[in-house]
């Protein structure tokens, strides 16, 4: 099993400090949600964790090794990453798109083997897109395309998975499906981190939440310890109802919590 250790991480982009003093240890077996308002630094942290951005200071250790010292080809087999807002421009079939997830396992100029096609089929079944396998990706709906991209990440069959806003463009039923899938991946022993904006889904499915605000780690713990009235007000500027329905955690934003004297929009 692999583990992830983040120590005193600082990232500067364009001369601006985007992340500062981030510390966290993440082990397999739990679904970790990374939350925070727009511009908090969540996607930057996801890219730093996966070795796509070099830290200005501090360190990210993956499986006991500094991420920057792991060869890219090896890291791509160990850590599957689905960034946010991906688009597909080529008229590939869904099956061929998902097969791109096997590229880290292929030698240069080699062809995909039967074992790779088996991994592709397993990924499509887990993402429940077998009925789409022969469809052209550019002709899919946004939600169908999002699920195909998730399947591509699953096809890597890496021990760790990072997904950035995997629920974007999905209807409520498919949002539940994706969160159930990520939860199952974690319960099967994978290290799974998901950047999420939907606090209700984060509260219901995640075992642990990491709250980022203005580039700093504000809270790290169980959902009920992170999604408090104080943190929601300080970081999101909202008032919310939190509770349980049918033994499921629920977070319902009610209104913006404006600073004293601030005028409301009419």
Confidence of residue 261 (pLDDT cuts 50, 70, 90): low
In sequence order, what are the beta bridge partners of 101? none
Token pair in block for residue 3? 């583990």
Helix, strand or coil, per DSSP, at residue 86: coil
Q: What is residue 94's predicted lDDT score, i.e. its pLDDT?
A: 97
Q: State the pTM of this model.
A: 0.91
- Report how far residue 185's alpha carbon sits from residue 180's, in angstroms, rounded to the nearest whole number: 9
DSSP secondary structure of 114-165: HHHHHHHHHHHHHTT-GGGTTSBGGGS-HHHHHHHHHHHHHHT--SEEEEES
pLDDT digits (tens, 9 = 90+) for 200-246: 999 999 999 999 999 999 999 999 999 999 999 999 999 999 998 98
pLDDT digits (tens, 9 = 90+) for 56-65: 999 999 999 9
Q: What is residue 265's predicted lDDT score, i.e. its pLDDT?
A: 47
- Mean pLDDT (the chain) is 92
Helix, strand or coil, per DSSP, at residue 155: helix
- Report how far residue 239's alpha carbon sits from residue 242's, in angstroms, rounded to the nearest whole number: 10
The CA-to-CA distance between both ends of the chain, in Å, stands at: 54
What are the phi and psi torsion angles at 94 (to 5°)? -60, -40
**Furthest-apart CA atoms within the chain: distance in Å:** 66
Could you give the percent of the chain with pLDDT greater than 70? 97
Please determine, for residue 52, whether its predicted confidence score (pLDDT) is greater than 80.
Answer: yes
Confidence of residue 262 (pLDDT cuts 50, 70, 90): low
On whether the CB atoms of residues 205 and 194 are closer than 8 A, the answer is no
Sketch out the chain's domains with CATH numbers.
4-87+158-256 (3.40.50.300)
Give the Cβ contact number of residue 246 at 10 Å.
5
On whether the CB atoms of residues 79 and 158 are closer than 8 A, the answer is yes
On whether the CB atoms of residues 5 and 66 are closer than 8 A, the answer is no
On whether the CB atoms of residues 155 and 119 are closer than 8 A, the answer is yes
Confidence of residue 115 (pLDDT cuts 50, 70, 90): very high
Confidence of residue 143 (pLDDT cuts 50, 70, 90): confident
Residues 229, 232, 238, 242, Cα dihedral to 10°: -50
Could you give the percent of the chain with pLDDT greater than 90? 83
On whether the CB atoms of residues 216 and 192 are closer than 8 A, the answer is no
Please determine, for residue 170, whether its predicted confidence score (pLDDT) is greater than 80.
Answer: yes
Q: What is residue 258's predicted lDDT score, i.e. its pLDDT?
A: 66
pLDDT digits (tens, 9 = 90+) for 85-103: 777 888 999 999 999 999 9
Nearest CA among 168, 130, 163 for reference residue 146: 168
């Amino acid at each position: 099993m692999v583990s992830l250790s983040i120590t005193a991480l600082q990232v500067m982009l364009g001369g601006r400090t985007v992340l500062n003093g981030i510390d966290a240890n993440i082990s397999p077996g739990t679904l970790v949600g990374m939350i925070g308002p727009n511009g908090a630094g969540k996607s930057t942290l996801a890219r730093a964790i996966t070795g796509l951005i070099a830290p200005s200071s501090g360190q990210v250790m993956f499986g006991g090794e500094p991420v920057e010292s792991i060869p890219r080809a090896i890291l791509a087999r160990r850590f599957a990453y689905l960034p946010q807002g991906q688009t597909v421009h080529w008229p590939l079939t869904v099956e061929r798109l998902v097969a791109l997830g096997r590229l880290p396992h292929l030698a240069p100029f080699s062809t995909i083997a039967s074992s790779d096609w088996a991994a592709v089929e397993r990924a499509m079944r887990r993402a429940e897109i077998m009925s789409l396998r022969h469809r052209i990706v550019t002709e899919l709906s946004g939600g169908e395309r999002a699920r195909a991209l998730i399947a591509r990440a699953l096809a890597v069959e890496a021990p760790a998975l990072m997904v950035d806003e995997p629920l974007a463009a999905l209807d409520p039923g498919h949002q539940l499906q994706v969160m159930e899938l990520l939860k199952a991946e974690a319960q099967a022993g994978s290290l799974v981190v998901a950047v999420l904006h939907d606090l209700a889904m984060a509260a219901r499915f995640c075992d642990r939440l990491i709250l980022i605000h203005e580039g700093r780690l504000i809270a790290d713990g169980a959902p009920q310890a992170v999604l408090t009235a104080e943190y929601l007000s300080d970081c999101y500027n909202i008032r919310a109802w939190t509770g349980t329905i049918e033994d499921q955690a629920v977070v319902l934003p009610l209104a913006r919590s404006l600073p004293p004297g601030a005028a409301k929009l009419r």
